[in-house]
Amino acid sequence: MTDFSGLRESMVVHQVAARGVRSENVLNAMRAVPRELFVPNKLAQFAYEDSPLSIAAGQTISQPYIVAFMIEALDLRGGEKVLEIGAGSGYAAAVLAEIAGDVYTIEYIEELAKSAASILAELGYDNVQVLHGDGTLGWEEHAPYDGIVVTAGGPEVPESLQQQLKIGGRMIIPIGESRNFQELIRVTRVSETRFKSEDLASVRFVPLVGAQGWPA
């Protein structure tokens, strides 16, 4: 039997904390979520390796460090309302749900949206709602959000997502002129009309497809 709890703790210590993630909220959330349940069964033994893994529909689950880094950059204190674009396997939504009060996550691929909703429900994450739709348009019904995290790379920051951000809220999003390479940026809404942008890291994500992203 694989000792997933031991592998999970090792991941937090050696891949996440050792690289500079300091938020106790994030570290504890990473300790709490069983990542092995969010990957295909045949890859469960590799769930805590320092790399992305393939999931259904030609998509990937990000490496653990990137998930932790992006969530820490949101600077969540607990109890916030967060929007995630790109539910994928549902793993990052589960990590967010350990910290935030309410998590709304949108997935463009119906197969992934259904599987993510199923596993999140099975694990008891009743503070997460999953929507199959165009994430570049956001989820206006529940706006504004304290934080928005986008797990796919777009050519520019979608205007819809900016407008759904609460004043003082932060959005973490990969942006780049190429579909394959991006700069991870943090956008902070300063006022109704002003936004501040900071570069965080060079990254590589799958393309953000939608009306305000890349064409399908």
What sign results for the dihedral spanned by CA atoms 111, 113, 115, 116?
positive
What is the C-alpha separation between 151 and 59, in angstroms, rounded? 11
Task: Report the C-alpha gap between 54 and 41 in whole angstroms.
Answer: 11
* Measured distance CA(117)–CA(206) in Å, rounded: 21
The one catalytic residue among 10, 23, 51, 62:
62
Q: What is the DSSP letter of 116?
A: H
- Give the three-class secondary structure for 9: helix
Please give the helix or strand (H or E) that residue 150 lies within, else none.
Answer: strand 145-150
Instruction: Give me Rg for the CA atoms of the chain.
Output: 16
For residue 62, give the DSSP letter. P
Cα torsion angle, 75, 86, 90, 51, sign: negative
Count of alpha carbons within 13 angstroms of residue 195, beta-carbon side: 19
Query: What letter represents residue 126's amino acid?
Result: D
> How many angstroms separate the Cα of 150 from the Cα of each of 2, 4, 162?
32, 28, 12
Catalytic, 115? Answer no
Enzyme catalytic residues: 62
